[in-house]
């Protein structure tokens, strides 16, 4: 009988029941909280048969982990003296206690925030963990660039040697986790439930990078004034008494997420911008986005790029983004070999009466066409660009996820053919040189 088979054979059989995580093929869809839910429960059902099967299937079941939590919960598990933050997170504690952490290949974090969570964080009195009342984050949520969340990334990667990490959260929450500023002046004109996705991945896992306690940490920054590294990192209470010219510009906290592994691929999915087209002079609006922080093309502290220098591909997905916003990517493209762009929805969002209410379809297509015209201009400029735009000089492959629009694709092919450039069509939707 199958129950008499040795664990090694059972493990090999159960591998065929693993269809992969939804995050592997849904990152290009409109971000929603339930997009990564799967009706497939085969492996979970196998784990309920008996203890032997459970022990065999758990390493397969936990290769791809989904961690949904409230941002305020992290305030209760920040590391303190003689405190391991893993002990305060049930999912991570389970992985560690059952020796499953070494099997985890991908981690998807769905980060939410709620007023109830904030209240609980303020009122919590934990004997084991650092209380929220001692956390500077809860005092000033505006200065997100002063938030140092490196303890979170170092905790995760000392526990797991991930090949991919994916964050799904509101733009405001992403900026907070990445310790960067975010413009929210026009956020009201976009969806209040807007979710963005940021995913970092690499092709292969190095054996030399197994999880260990030797994960690189950042030394405390010592100010030029020679102050103690243990001094409070918040704003100087006497700074308002100094002349404006004497005040130092606040520096963003270093972010270890982008350097803690040799990431090769980055995916940014900014969801739908269709609701902004309902507003007067929509083209003047600015979406809440971490794009300028990733590229280092924003105002301080977002003038230092987060994108690692060894990145091989950059994928940008959005639903009818404003061309003025998309231009940030065009003018500040990092040095990558491959660029993927998708600007038209793959779902039926355009058939949703509520989503399209008071929206002129011609405006959507006009902005889409403007975005692609910006791309074509850079593609055909070859080596004529200088400065930061030189990322286009190193590009070897451009793929459009919107090639299903036959008229637009054929027009682009004709334009490339007539330009006399060294770009040519490799397959549908893909230009190479």
Q: What are the pLDDT digits (tens) for 19-58?
A: 888 888 889 999 998 888 887 788 888 888 888 889 999 9
Domain ranges of the chain: 1-15+32-59, 62-164, 170-204+252-433
pLDDT band of 144, cuts 50, 70, 90? low
pLDDT band of 249, cuts 50, 70, 90? low
State the pLDDT at residue 419: 82
- Mean model confidence pLDDT for the chain: 80
d(C-alpha 157, C-alpha 152), whole Å: 9
- Of the candidates 277, 321, 318, the residue with the CA atom closest to the CA atom of residue 189: 277
Sequence-distant (6+) residues with CB within 8 A of 130 are: 76, 77, 78, 79, 80, 83
- Higher pLDDT, residue 126 or 23: 23
Q: Across residues 145-154, what is the average pLDDT?
A: 82
Task: With a cut of 90, say whether residue 430 has pLDDT above it.
Answer: yes
CA pseudo-torsion sign 318, 324, 330, 334: negative
d(C-alpha 52, C-alpha 5), whole Å: 11
d(C-alpha 295, C-alpha 298), whole Å: 8
Q: Across residues 187-193, what is the average pLDDT?
A: 87
- Higher pLDDT, residue 241 or 294: 294
State the pLDDT at residue 205: 59
State the pLDDT at residue 170: 94
CA pseudo-torsion sign 219, 220, 221, 222: negative
d(C-alpha 131, C-alpha 295), whole Å: 35
Task: With a cut of 50, say whether residue 228 has pLDDT above it.
Answer: no
3-state secondary structure of 426: strand
Q: Across residues 196-207, what is the average pLDDT?
A: 83
Residue count (the chain): 433
Q: Across residues 67-88, what is the average pLDDT?
A: 79
Q: Across residues 179-195, what is the average pLDDT?
A: 89
- Higher pLDDT, residue 20 or 216: 20
pTM of the model: 0.82
């Amino acid at each position: 009988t199958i129950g008499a088979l040795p664990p090694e054979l059972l493990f090999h059989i159960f591998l065929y029941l693993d269809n992969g995580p939804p995050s592997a093929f849904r990152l290009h869809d409109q971000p929603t909280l339930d997009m990564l839910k799967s009706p497939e429960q085969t492996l979970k059902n196998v784990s309920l048969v008996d203890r032997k099967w459970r022990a065999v299937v758990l390493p397969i079941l936990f290769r791809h982990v989904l961690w949904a939590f409230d941002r305020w919960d992290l305030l209760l598990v920040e590391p303190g003296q003689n405190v391991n933050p893993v002990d305060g997170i049930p999912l991570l504690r389970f992985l560690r206690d059952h020796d499953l952490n070494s099997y985890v290949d991908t981690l998807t974090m769905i980060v939410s925030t709620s007023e109830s969570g904030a209240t609980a964080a303020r009122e919590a009195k934990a004997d084991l963990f650092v209380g929220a009342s001692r956390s500077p984050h809860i005092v000033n949520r505006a200065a997100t660039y002063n938030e140092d969340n490196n303890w979170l990334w170092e905790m995760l990667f000392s526990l797991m040697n991930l090949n991919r990490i994916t964050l799904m959260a509101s733009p405001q929450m992403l900026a907070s986790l990445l310790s960067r500023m975010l413009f929210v002046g026009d956020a009201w004109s976009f969806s209040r439930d807007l979710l963005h996705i940021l995913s970092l991945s690499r092709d292969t896992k190095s054996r030399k990078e197994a999880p260990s306690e030797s994960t690189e940490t950042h030394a405390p920054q010592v100010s030029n004034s020679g102050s103690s590294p243990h001094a409070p990192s918040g704003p100087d209470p006497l700074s308002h008494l100094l002349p404006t010219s004497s005040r130092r510009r606040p520096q963003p906290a270093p972010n270890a997420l982008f350097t803690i592994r040799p990431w090769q691929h980055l995916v940014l999915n900014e969801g739908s911008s269709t609701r902004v087209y309902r507003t007067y002079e929509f083209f003047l609006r600015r979406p809440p986005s971490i794009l300028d922080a990733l590229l280092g093309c924003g105002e301080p502290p977002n003038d230092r790029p987060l994108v690692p220098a060894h990145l091989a591909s950059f994928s940008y997905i959005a639903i009818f983004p404003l061309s003025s916003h998309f231009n940030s990517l065009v003018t500040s493209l990092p040095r990558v070999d491959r660029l993927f762009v998708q600007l038209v929805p793959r779902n039926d969002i355009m058939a949703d009466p509520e989503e399209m209410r008071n929206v002129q379809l011609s405006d959507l297509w006009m902005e889409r066409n403007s975005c692609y015209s910006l791309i074509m201009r850079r593609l055909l400029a070859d080596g004529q660009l200088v400065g930061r735009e030189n990322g286009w000089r190193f590009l070897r492959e451009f793929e459009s996820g919107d090639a299903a629009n036959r008229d637009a694709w054929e027009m682009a092919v004709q334009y490339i053919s007539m330009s006399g450039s060294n770009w040519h069509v490799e397959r549908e939707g893909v230009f190479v040189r």
